[in-house]
């Protein structure tokens, strides 16, 4: 049985009572889950493919302020729900419902109304907006709802290979939230299946000059960065030249050529990177094992966690490009903004 040790206390892995309990955790902690530069609409508003069509209702709507803001449909699920007939069909309904301009416009309409009804939240969103190139909320909504591809995030208490295969066509961000309990005290472990597209960067103000420049496209994401405790790092990675129980979206596997390891505190840095020989399923866990071609290479300069941005310390797999490692000194250098 999985447990977390905190001092003399043992927190035991416990099931969520129901989906509503999981959803409350997501709503309360969305900034810690998705990043400080995100905005969550905690509303149950449905969308239809066409007038009179079947109504489908997401658990929430989220705006992630990446280099260009993105709207995310949020779905909270329990692993006890059937992967194909429940979770897969639910995302298929969302995708179908958002396939017309009319349905997208209805989303813009009720999100706008939500802000009018909640002026304090509107003020917060405008603060995030002021750090982008969008001039007002209407322009922002046009961009993320009408013009850009809408993305998906599935928050669940456990994932499996079957579920990841079912969801692969939607390319969602899969976030696993586990509940651990000691008497009346509860803590949560959050495991984010992340990629550069889903990494939450810090927002920087656009100057007049920077608005005219096109943002540099990041290099191909060919490197996966995994966190490791010291014991496992020394025995498995350095001595056995492998790492296992890694959560990877199967669509990303063909692109992964390197594995870098982030050594957690007190090291708090990346010191080694290895070339990948093989990636294969790990037992029946729905996760993967990466085998290296040989011993990992030690970097000339450690890539350290900066005190200015401690939230960049990987808690789960993150993606980068090997080309960024050459001159990197801190994690900000390899996780493009």
What pLDDT sits at residue 206?
Answer: 40
What pLDDT sits at residue 202?
Answer: 37
What pLDDT sits at residue 285?
Answer: 78
Residues 27 and 25: their CA atoms lie apart, in Å, by 6
165 shares its domain with 54: yes
Task: Give a yes or no: residue 135 inside a domain.
Answer: yes
What pLDDT sits at residue 12?
Answer: 92
Task: Give a yes or no: residue 213 inside a domain.
Answer: no
191 shares its domain with 238: no
Task: Give a yes or no: residue 131 inside a domain.
Answer: yes
Number of domains in the chain: 2
What pLDDT sits at residue 336?
Answer: 63
**Number of residues in the chain:** 337
Task: Give a yes or no: residue 246 inside a domain.
Answer: yes
55 shares its domain with 154: yes
Regions of the chain short of the pLDDT cut 70: 1, 49-54, 66-67, 83-84, 192-219, 336-337
Task: Give a yes or no: residue 208 inside a domain.
Answer: no
What's the start-to-end Cα distance of the chain, in Å? Answer: 38
Q: Which residues pair with 156 in a beta bridge?
A: 77, 176
For residue 262, what is the domain's CATH number?
A: 3.10.590
| Structural domain boundaries, residue 90 | 3-197
What pLDDT sits at residue 39?
Answer: 95
Task: Give a yes or no: residue 216 inside a domain.
Answer: no
Contact criterion met (CB below 8 Å) for 315 and 190: yes
257 shares its domain with 168: no
Contact criterion met (CB below 8 Å) for 46 and 53: no
11 shares its domain with 151: yes
115 shares its domain with 251: no
190 shares its domain with 315: no
Residues 133 and 209: their CA atoms lie apart, in Å, by 12
162 shares its domain with 107: yes
Task: Give a yes or no: residue 259 inside a domain.
Answer: yes
Threshold 0.85, pTM exceeds: no
Per-residue tokens: 189: 């472990």
Per-residue tokens: 2: 């999985």
Task: Give a yes or no: residue 205 inside a domain.
Answer: no
């Amino acid at each position: 049985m999985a447990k977390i040790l905190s001092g003399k206390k043992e927190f035991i892995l416990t099931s969520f009572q129901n989906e509503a309990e999981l959803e409350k955790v997501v709503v309360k902690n969305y900034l810690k889950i998705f990043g400080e530069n995100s905005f969550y609409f905690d509303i149950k508003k449905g969308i239809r493919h066409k007038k009179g069509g079947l109504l489908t209702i997401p658990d929430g709507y989220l705006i992630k302020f990446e280099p260009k803001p993105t709207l995310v449909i949020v779905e909270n699920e329990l692993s006890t729900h059937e992967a194909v007939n429940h979770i897969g069909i639910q995302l298929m309904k969302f995708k179908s419902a958002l396939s017309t301009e009319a349905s997208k416009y209805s989303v813009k309409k009720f999100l706008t109304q939500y802000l009018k009804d909640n002026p304090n939240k509107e003020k917060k969103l405008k603060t995030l907006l002021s750090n982008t190139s969008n001039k007002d909320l209407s322009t922002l909504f046009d961009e993320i709802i009408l013009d850009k591809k809408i993305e998906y995030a599935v928050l669940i208490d456990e994932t499996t290979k079957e579920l990841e295969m079912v969801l692969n066509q939607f390319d969602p961000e899969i976030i696993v939230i586990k509940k651990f309990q000691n008497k009346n005290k509860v803590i949560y472990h959050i495991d984010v299946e992340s990629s550069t597209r889903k990494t939450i960067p810090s927002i920087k103000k656009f100057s007049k000059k920077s608005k005219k420049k096109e943002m540099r496209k990041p290099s191909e994401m060919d490197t996966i960065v995994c966190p490791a405790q010291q014991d496992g790092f020394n025995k498995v990675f350095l001595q056995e030249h492998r790492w296992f129980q890694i959560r990877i979206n199967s669509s990303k596997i063909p692109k992964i050529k390197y594995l870098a390891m982030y050594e957690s505190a007190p090291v708090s840095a990346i010191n080694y990177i290895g070339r990948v020989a093989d990636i294969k399923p790990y037992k029946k866990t729905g996760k993967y094992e990466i085998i290296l071609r040989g011993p990992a290479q030690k970097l000339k300069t450690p890539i350290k966690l900066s005190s200015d941005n401690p939230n960049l310390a990987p808690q789960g797999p993150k993606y980068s490009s090997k080309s960024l490692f050459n001159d990197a000194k801190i994690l900000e250098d390899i996780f493009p903004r």
